[in-house]
Structure 1
Amino acid sequence: MTVLRPHAEDQYAEELALLAAADDRPRPPGWRLSPQAVVTYLLGDGAKVSPKYVGPRRLIEVAVSTLATDRALLLLGVPGTAKTWVSEHLAAAVSGNSTLLVQGTAGTPEEAIRYGWNYARLLADGPTEAALVPSPVMRAMQRGAIARVEELTRVPSDVQDALITVLSEKSLPVPELNTEVQAQRGFNLIATANDRDRGVNELSSALRRRFNTVVLPVPASADDEVEIVARRVAQLGRALELPEVPAALDEIRRVVTVFRELRGGLTEDGRTKLKSPTGTLSPAEAISVVTNGLALAAHFGDGRLRAADVAAGIVGAVVKDPVSDRVVWREYLETVVRERPDWSDFYRAARDA
C-alpha cells in the first residue's frame, strides 16, 4: 500500500542519507546531521539535494542554530508561509523523525503536552508506569529528539503554560509516580503560530521568553513565489498521480500575480491601488488553486492548464466574505484584469465563475 503523503524523513530518505555520508562537520549531541548539512537539506545544493524552502538563507541558519542551543524555536508568520513545512523538515533532518507532533486546537488538553493515563489499567492497578500514556513531547524528551507543536496560539493559555517547565527545566514531573522524565541530549521543540486567525491565545511573557522567534515572510519576489508554487504543484501532481499537464507555468504566474496584487493592495506596475480581501492569499492557497486546476485540465479539459481551469479556484480563494470580498473581486476584475489585453480569456472565465 502506498501512502498518500509520506513523512519527510521517508520521502527524502535518499537525500538525508547522502548528506549524512558526506557530512564531516561537528554534530550537536543527538543530531543526525551537522547544522550546516541541515541548512543544505532545507535550501538544497543545486544538484542532488532539492530545496524544501525558498527564502532568505539567514532565517534558516538562525532557526537551525537555535535548535542547537537550549532555546526552543517559534516559527511565526501569516497562514501559508510554510511554517509547518519547515518545522517538519527541520525535525526530519535533525532527529530523523518528524512525527512527534501535537496539533494545537482550542480543545487541546494538557495531556497532549504532558501525559495521560490508560484508564483501564489505572483502575485495575493504580498509577503505574504501564498505565502512563506519554505525550509526543514526553517521548521526544525520552528519545532526545525534536517535538513539534502546531498552531501554539490556538492552544488554551493554561495548556500552553504546561510547556514552561519542559522548556526551562528540561524535565517533566510525574507527581503520581513520584518521579520525573528528564530530557535526553538532542531534545528540543519547534512551535508554529500565526496571529491572523480568530481564536488566538497570546503567549505569556514567561513562555515567549523560552522561545527564539523566527518570522517566515511571504516570498519577497514574484519569481520566488512562482518557483515555490511550481515546485510544490509538481510534487503534489506526482504524489496524486495526476496526468502530466504541459505549459502550466504561464497560468501559475497569473495566479501568483493576482494573489500578490490583491495581497499587497497595488498592481504589479505600481500604478493602481487596490482593496485587499479578508483572506491571506498565501502561496499555500495558490498551490491549492493550481493543483485543482491541473486536475480539471487533466480529467475534464484538453490536457493543458487554461484560464478556465484556475478561475473558479481563484474566485473561491479571494471571496471568503460573500459581501465585502465580492466587491473587492469585482472591482479588481473590471479595473485591472479587463484592461490587460493578454488576460481576456481569464477575464471571461472569472466572470463566468
Structure 2
Amino acid sequence: MTITTDTQPVLRPHAEQLYAHELAALIATDDLPRPPGWRMSPQAVVTYLLGDGDQISPKYIGPRRLMEVAVATLATDRALLLLGVPGTAKTWVSEHLAAAISGDSTLLIQGTAGTPEEAIRYGWNYARLLAEGPSPQAVVPSPMMRAMQTGAIARVEELTRVPSDVQDTLITILSEKVLPVPELGNEVQAIKGFNVIATANDRDRGVNELSSALRRRFNTVVLPVPSTVDEEVDIVARRVESLGAALELPAVPDSIAEIRRAVTVFRELREGITGDGRTKLKSPSGTLSTAEAISVMTSGMALAAHFGDGVVRAADVAAGIRGAVVRDPVSDAVIWREYLETVVRERDGWQDFYRAAREAE
C-alpha cells in the first residue's frame, strides 16, 4: 500500500496511516468495553500489536504479558515507561500503542540534551506576544498540551536524555493531569483518554537518571532483547520485508540464510559466547541491537538488488556487519579480527562470509 500526501508519496508513513486497514477492521468488530477516549478496547489493542495469525500482522514479537501490562497501564491514570537497551522496539511499540488507542502517533516530543521546558509545556508566538501581550492566541501548544486538550496519547522519546530539571516538568502533568499557564492565570485540564508513553534506555551516554518523584508516576515495562535466535531472525525478517516494500526496493529472493548469519554474529558478540557455548568471546563497545541487524540487512538487500545479481549474499552484508561491530577503530577492530579467525574461519559453511569479511577490512 502506497501512502501519499496531496502530491507526493510519503517515505515513512505513520503507523495509523500504514496500518489503517487493520485498525479499521479491529474497530469495526470490537464490541468489548473501551476506556474513555479510546478508539478500541484494550484486548483489541493487544491483538493489533501481536497479530491474530490472519488479517492482523504482528507489530511486536515477544511476551504477550508485557503488552497486556503496557496496555492496562494506559487504561489507568499511570503513565507508561518503556525501558530497554537500544534496539528492543521501544519506539516502535510506543508508536503503535498511540496509533491504536488515539489514532494519532504524531504527538511526539524527542528528548535530547538540549530539550527545553517549552517542548513539554508550551511556547509563545513572540510576534503576537510583543504586539498583544500574553493571550491564548499567542500560546504555541506543545504536543503534550495538544494531547491533553484532545484526550490523546503523548509520546516522549529518550526521556533520560532530557535534562533533569526539564524532566520534572512532567510531574504536575502526570500527577494532577493539569498544565498550569501562569501567564494567563489559567490551566489546561486533561481530557479523558490522555496519557503519556515515554521511552528510555540505560546504556546510552548522556543519560540523566529520573528523579524518584518522576519515576513513581510511571509504570515501567522492560522490553527484553529477543530470547532466541529464531525469534530475533523472525523479527529481522519481518522488518526487512516491511522496509523493503516501503522503500520500493526491487524484490530479492528469500534472504533468511544471511539474516540468520547476521543475527548469529550479533548475538554471539553481544553475549560474549558462541551459540554452542564452547568459546568465550570479547564483546565490542557497540550494542549490536536487533535494530542494527535490520539496518545491515536492509542495506544488504539494496546492494544485492542494485549492484549484485539480485540474491543477498555474504559479500552484501559483511561490510555492514563489520561497520556495526567496529565502532572503536582500535579495540573493536581487534575483537572483530579475533572473532573472524577463531570462530568464523572454523565454522562449516561460513567460508564465503569469512572471505567477504576479510575483504571488507
> What's the TM-score bracket when you normalise by the shorter of the two chains?
over 0.9
Residue 239 (str. 1) matches residue 229 (str. 2):
no
Q: Structure 1 residue aligned with 2:57, among 50, 55, 60?
A: 50
Q: Please list the CA deviations of residues 217-275 of structure 1 after superposition, one character each: whole Å capped at 9, or x if unmatched.
A: 00011001000000000001011111111030100000000001001111111111111
Q: Structure 1 residue aligned with 2:204, among 194, 197, 219?
A: 197
Residue 261 (str. 1) matches residue 268 (str. 2):
yes
| Paired letter, 1:192 | T
Residue 274 (str. 1) matches residue 281 (str. 2):
yes
Q: Please list the CA deviations of residues 182-208 of structure 1 after superposition, one character each: whole Å capped at 9, or x if unmatched.
A: 000000000000011111000000000
| Paired letter, 2:208 | N
| Paired letter, 1:35 | P
2:224 aligned partner: 217
Q: Structure 2 residue aligned with 1:351, among 339, 352, 358?
A: 358
- SS of residue paired to 1:176: coil
Gaps of 5+ in 1: none
Query: Take 1:258 and 1:209, find their aligned partners in 2: how far apart are those partners?
Result: 39
Residue 4 (str. 1) matches residue 18 (str. 2):
no
Q: Structure 1 residue aligned with 2:304, among 297, 305, 309?
A: 297
The 5-angstrom pairing of residues 125-136 of structure 1 reads 125-136=132-143
- SS of residue paired to 1:80: coil
Count of residues in correspondence between the two structures: 353
- SS of residue paired to 2:53: coil
1:314 aligned partner: 321
Query: Take 1:120 and 1:247, find their aligned partners in 2: how far apart are those partners?
Result: 57
2:237 aligned partner: 230
Query: Take 1:32 and 1:272, find their aligned partners in 2: how far apart are those partners?
Result: 51
Query: Take 2:248 and 2:23, find their aligned partners in 1: how far apart are those partners?
Result: 24
Gaps of 5+ in 2: 1-7
Task: Give 4+ residue runs of structure 1 displaced > 6 Å after superposition.
Answer: none
| Paired letter, 1:167 | L
The 5-angstrom pairing of residues 86-165 of structure 1 reads 86-165=93-172
| Paired letter, 1:4 | L
The 5-angstrom pairing of residues 63-82 of structure 1 reads 63-82=70-89
In the superposition, the TM-score normalised over structure 2's length comes to: 0.97
1:36 aligned partner: 43
1:72 deviation in Å?
Answer: 0.2
Q: Percent identity?
A: 81
| Paired letter, 1:342 | G
Query: Take 2:45 and 2:142, find their aligned partners in 1: how far apart are those partners?
Result: 26
Query: Take 1:241 and 1:185, find their aligned partners in 2: how far apart are those partners?
Result: 40
Query: Take 1:340 and 1:157, find their aligned partners in 2: how far apart are those partners?
Result: 49
- SS of residue paired to 1:339: coil
